[in-house]
Amino acid sequence: MRRLAWATDIHLNFVRGNVRSFCAQIASAAPDGLVITGDISEAETIERDLVALDRALAMPVWLVLGNHDFYGSGIRAMRTGVTKICRSSKWLRYLPNEGVVWLGGETAMVGHDGWADGRFGDFAHSQVVLNDYLRIDDLAGLSPTARLDRLHKLGDEAAAYFRRLLPQALDRCKNVVVATHVPPFREACWQEGRVSDDQHLPHFACAAVGEVLSQAMRPRPEQRMLVLCGHTHARAIARILPNLVVKTGGAIYGQPGLADVFDIDAFGDQFSHGNY
């Protein structure tokens, strides 16, 4: 693996199943693999869209799921379904099932869906109501108190996954790429040209995951972590620690595209020079 392409929030259900231009863009970048950080489609169409990617891209495609991917279904059902699709595919890989993925050289990748956990901002007074709370079985019909409890548990689940896997990756490799859907730090959660306000932060960032990532990197100043996420549809770069950078990908409905392409062999140099 020398070149890793990254895409996020591609929402293929909004392009009526026509993924040819998106796949052509990927092919023109000539990567050896692709990672997608969630919001690929919705429950009704995700199998169709994943199969289309599988057929069009002759390369490994690692993915995590975003909140939109669960619309019209439940979290466990969708994760089970996507696991089945990926296991029957030559190229598709659902990252939470893959553990530590070695990308080559001194670089590994670890990924989990993540979830906005309500811990940033002011959940109690937020007037924001996402479609998540109407269209995902696990969140529909809950009182605000029950909803917050559920969001805490989803954030904690993702944090526990990274707490378990990151030491394995960091013990083996100098560099780690973390793929997740939801920005794990306030500084990486941007909307309309600025960090999200307290009304939106509870629904667009995951404090539990951010805490685990920071704890993993503080005692390892000679190692590097690049976090790839999406969810907000606003492009941002946040350097949380000297050795911990978060890139949040931008997105436009109906116009799926690449967020970036990384040279794995030059990971360390590009990180040190501020390119990440």
Quick one: pLDDT band at residue 18, thresholds 50, 70, 90? low
Question: How far is 149 from 271, CA to CA, in rounded Å?
Answer: 37
Of all residues in the chain, what percent carry a pLDDT higher than 70?
97
CA nearest neighbour of 216 among 193, 240, 235, 195: 240
Residue written as tokens 């692709």? 34
Q: What is the mean pLDDT of residues 193-203?
A: 96
Per residue in 208-258, pLDDT (tens digit) is 999 999 999 999 999 999 999 999 999 999 999 999 999 999 999 999 999
* Cα–Cα distance measured from residue 33 to residue 62, given in angstroms and rounded to the nearest whole number: 8
H-helix segments, 88-143: 132-135
The CATH number of 3-272, from 3.30.460.80, 3.30.2020.10, 3.30.70.890, 3.60.21.10, is 3.60.21.10
Domain ranges of the chain: 3-272
Q: What is the mean pLDDT of the chain?
A: 95
